[in-house]
Structure 1
Amino acid sequence: SVKVEPGGLYEIVFNPADSNILIAAVGPRGETRGAIARLNADLTPGQSIDVSANPLYGLGFNSRTQTLYGTATRSGSVGVVDVRTGRLVATIKDGDDDSAHVREVIVDETRNKAYVTVVGGEANDASRPNQIWVVDGATNAIERKIAAPVGGLTGAALDAQNNRLFVTGMSSNDVGVIDLATGQSVATWPTGSEKPTNVAFDAAGGRLFVASQGTGDLTVMNSADGAVIKKVPTGEGALSVAYNPRNDQVYVANRQAGTVTVVGGGDYAVLANLQTGTFPQTIAIDPATNAVYVTNKARGLPRNAPAGTPVPVDPAGDTVTLIRP
Structure 2
Amino acid sequence: MTVRHQHAAHKLVRRSAAVVLAAGTVLGAAGAATAAPAAPAHHRPHHQTSYKVDSAQLARGLYQSSYSERNHVLWATTAVGRPPVTQSQLLKVDPKSLKTKAAYTPPVTDASTKAVEAVYGVAVDDAHNTVWTTNTRNDSVAVYSQRTGKHLATVPGVKHAREIVVDERHNTAWASGFGDGSIVGFDTRTFKEKKRVTVKGAGTTGLAVNKWTGTVYATDLTNSNIIAVSRFSDQPKLIPTGQGPISIALSRDGRTAYTADNKGGTLSVVDLLKGKVTRTVKTGEGALSVAADPRSGNVFVANRGPGNTTVVDPHKGAVVATLATGPNPNHVTVARGTAFVVDKAAAGDKLLDSVHRISAER
Asked if TM exceeds 0.5, the reply is: yes
State the shift of 1:31 in Å. 5.5
Aligned to 1:165: 216
Match of 1:19 among 50, 57, 72: 72
2:356 maps to which residue? 321
**Whole-angstrom distance in 1 between the partners of 2:312 and 2:200:** 29
Distance 1:164 1:31, change over 3 A: closer
Which residue number corresponds to residue 266 of structure 1? 315
How far is 1:228 from its partner?
1.3
- 2:183 paired residue among 111, 129, 132: 132
CA distance in 1, matches of 2:247, 2:352: 22
From 99, 109, 117, give the equivalent of 1:54.
117
Q: Secondary structure at the match of 2:273?
A: coil
Superposed displacement of residue 265, structure 1: 3.4
Choose the corresponding residue for 1:38, options 92, 99, 107: 92
8 Å CA contact 2:128–2:189 kept in 1: the answer is no
Shift in Å, 1:202: 1.0
Match of 1:146 in 2: 197
CA distance in structure 1 between the aligned counterparts of 2:259 and 2:88, rounded to whole angstroms: 30
- Equivalent-residue separation in structure 2 for 1:296 and 1:235 (angstroms): 15
| Contiguous gaps of at least 5 residues in structure 1 | 121-128, 300-311
Aligned position for 1:188? 238
Following superposition, the deviation at residue 221 of structure 1 comes to 0.7
What letter matches 1:8 in structure 2?
G
Deviation of 1:18 (Å): 2.5
Deviates more, 1:46-55 or 1:169-178: 46-55
Question: For the Cα contact (< 8 Å) 2:167–2:214, is it kept in 1?
Answer: no
Map 1:276-287 to 2 at 5 A: 276-287=325-336
Task: Please give the per-residue CA displacement for 1:166-210, whole angstroms capped at 9, x wherever unaligned.
Answer: 12111111112212222221x21221x221111101142621101
Instruction: Please give the residue correspondences for 1:73-112 in structure 2 after superposition, counting only pairs within 5 Å.
Output: 73-94=136-157, 100-112=159-171
Equivalent position SS for 1:81: strand
Distance 1:183 1:31, change over 3 A: closer
Cross-structure match for 1:309? none
| Residue among 273, 287, 297 paired with 1:238 | 287
Q: CA deviation at 1:13?
A: 0.4
- 8 Å Cα contact 2:260-2:301 kept in structure 1: yes
Partner of 1:225, secondary structure, is coil
User: Runs of 4 or more off by more than 3 Å in structure 1?
Assistant: 27-31, 312-317
Following superposition, the deviation at residue 118 of structure 1 comes to 0.5
Which residue identity is paired with 1:263? V
1:166–1:150 Cα change, 3 Å: farther
- Measure how far apart 1:144 and its partner are: 2.9
The 3-state SS of whatever aligns with 1:74 is helix
Alpha-carbon separation, structure 1, partners of 2:224 and 2:266 = 13
Q: Say whether the 8 Å CA contact 2:170–2:214 is kept in structure 1.
A: no
Identify the structure with bigger relative contact order (alpha carbons < 8 Å, sequence gap 6+): 2
CA displacement 1:233-288 (0-9 Å, x = unmatched): 0001001100011111100000122110001233132111111111111112222x
User: What's the counterpart of residue 204 of structure 1?
Assistant: 253
1:137 Cα deviation from its structure 2 partner: 1.1
Deviates more, 1:155-164 or 1:61-70: 155-164
Whole-Å separation in 2 of the counterparts to 1:314 and 1:141:
43
User: Aligned equivalents of 1:225 and 1:315: distance in 2?
Assistant: 50
**Residue 4 of structure 1 aligns to a residue in which SS?**
strand
In the alignment, the residues of structure 2 paired with residue 262 and residue 314 of structure 1 have an alpha-carbon distance, to the nearest angstrom, of 31
Residue 291, structure 1, aligned to residue 338, structure 2: yes
List runs of 5+ in structure 2 lacking aligned partners. Answer: 1-54, 108-115
Q: Which amino acid aligns with 1:130?
A: G
TM-score (norm 1): 0.86
Three-state SS of the structure 2 residue aligned to 1:34 is strand
Partner of 1:178: 229
**Distance in 2 between residues matched to 1:79 and 1:284, nearest whole Å:** 20
Percent of counterpart pairs with the same letter? Answer: 29
**Are residue 10 (structure 1) and residue 63 (structure 2) matched?**
yes
Q: Deviations over 1:97-154 (max 9, x none)?
A: xx8111111111011111111013xxxxxxxx31111111111121232123762111
TM-score of the superposed pair, with normalisation by structure 2: 0.77
Please report the RMSD computed on the Cα atoms of aligned residues, expressed in angstroms: 2.0
Question: How far apart, in 2, do the equivalents of 1:201 and 1:226 lie?
Answer: 14
Secondary structure at the counterpart of residue 137 of structure 2: coil
Residues 161 and 184 of structure 1: CA distance in aligned 2, closer, same or farther (over 3 Å): same
Q: How many residues align?
A: 296
